[in-house]
Amino acid sequence: MYATYGGHVIIENVGAFNFKEFGINANALWRINNVFCYKNKIGLQLRSDSAVSNSEFSRGDIPINITDGGNRLTNIWCNSGKEGCLRIKPLNSSVNLRNTSISNLYIGEVYGEGNEVKPIINIEGLLVNNVQHRVFDVQISNSFITNAEGAVSIPNDLVSIKYAENIVFSNCNFFGQGLYASSNRYTRHAFYIENSSMILINNCTITGINKSSLKVQKICSDISISNCTFNGWGQAVANGDDFICLYFSDEIYRTQIIGCNFIDSSSNLNLSLIKSYSEPNNFTF
């Protein structure tokens, strides 16, 4: 299904199965409700200013691919992609991808091949000729992000954020594989962040991560983690610095960690909470 910009398309109670490219290719101004997409290469490709509700997108390479801004998604089931489950990435360097809101999302499981880490949620801008084209203003709330199982041969991150700004996760639950992981199938990080700023993680619970719960590296600033509970990290496959719950490296500026709880539910009683290679005055606790 496809319509050009300004189509004002409304679709409801529709299924799309086994398409080689897109189950639904929504250019702009679509209203999508009660849709089921299964085993399409991309289940839903979403351009700008559309609303999606009460729908399920499963299997294929990427169940949901958002390439432009101004979209609203609510009450969404999204799982079992080959390369990831939800990707928010500009279609090209001329696209200004901003203002995305997602609520009541259940998302999880990536089935892929090879040794490359595959994120369940991938928020990624572009780097073109050493110029960053960032993703702006994404809010994900009241959601479950889970990695209860995965491919035999790949690790997963729950969320990967690169070349992005003003990204908010609030009132979410994150579940890794915990003590059920194996050496080639595990949840590496709940959050992996690089070259980004103004990242807010608030009132979330993060459980069963196999290495650091959060890893921030390269040049990042204004990271805020507040009122979160970290329950178990560095489990099953961790070594060395993997036992550190919150790991900051390289140039990190103006970071706040406020009102968080850290619970060590593993058998290792020597887990560290925080490690930073930045100047101490860049952090507030």
* pLDDT at position 173 over 90: yes
- Round to whole Å and give the CA distance between 92 and 88: 12
**What one-letter code names the amino acid at 84?**
G
Spell out a b/e string for 99-121, using b for 16 or more CB atoms within 10 Å of the CB, else e. bbbbbebebbbbbbeeeebbbbb
Residue 267: what pLDDT?
45
Q: Give the pLDDT of residue 137.
A: 98
Integer Cα distance of 214 and 212 in angstroms:
5
pLDDT of residue 282: 64
Report the candidate in 284, 142, 280 with the shortest Cα–Cα distance to residue 225. Answer: 284
Residues β-bridged to residue 131: 128
Going from the C-alpha of 74 to that of each of 136, 223, 231, 260, 263, the distances in angstroms are 19, 26, 27, 28, 31
**13 residue type, one letter:** N
pLDDT number for residue 241: 85
**Of the candidates 84, 82, 61, 85, which has an alpha carbon nearest to the alpha carbon of residue 73?**
85
Give the pLDDT confidence score for residue 269 in this predicted structure: 43
- Tell me: the pLDDT tens digits for 178-191? 888 888 889 999 99
Beta bridge partners of 224: 200, 256
Phi first, then psi, for residue 251 (nearest 5°) are -95, 105
Residue 90 · residue 69 · CB < 8 Å: no
Q: What is the pLDDT of residue 169?
A: 98
CATH class of 62-284: mainly beta
214 with 193: CB under 8 angstroms?
Answer: yes
pLDDT in tens, 120-169: 999 999 999 999 999 999 999 999 999 976 555 678 999 999 999 999 99
Question: If pLDDT is split at 50, 70 and 90, which confidence band does 266 have?
Answer: low
In order of 10, 15, 75, 153, the CA distances from 34 in angstroms are: 11, 9, 10, 34
In tens, the pLDDT along 193-249 reads 999 999 999 999 999 999 999 999 989 999 999 999 999 999 888 888 888 899 998
Q: What is the spatial distance between Cα 73 and Cα 38, in angstroms, rounded to a whole number? A: 18
Torsion from C-alpha of 231, 235, 239, 242, nearest 10 degrees: -30
pTM: predicted TM-score of the whole model, two decimal places: 0.93
Rounded distance, CA 123 to CA 96, Å? 14
Q: Where are the domains of the chain?
A: 62-284
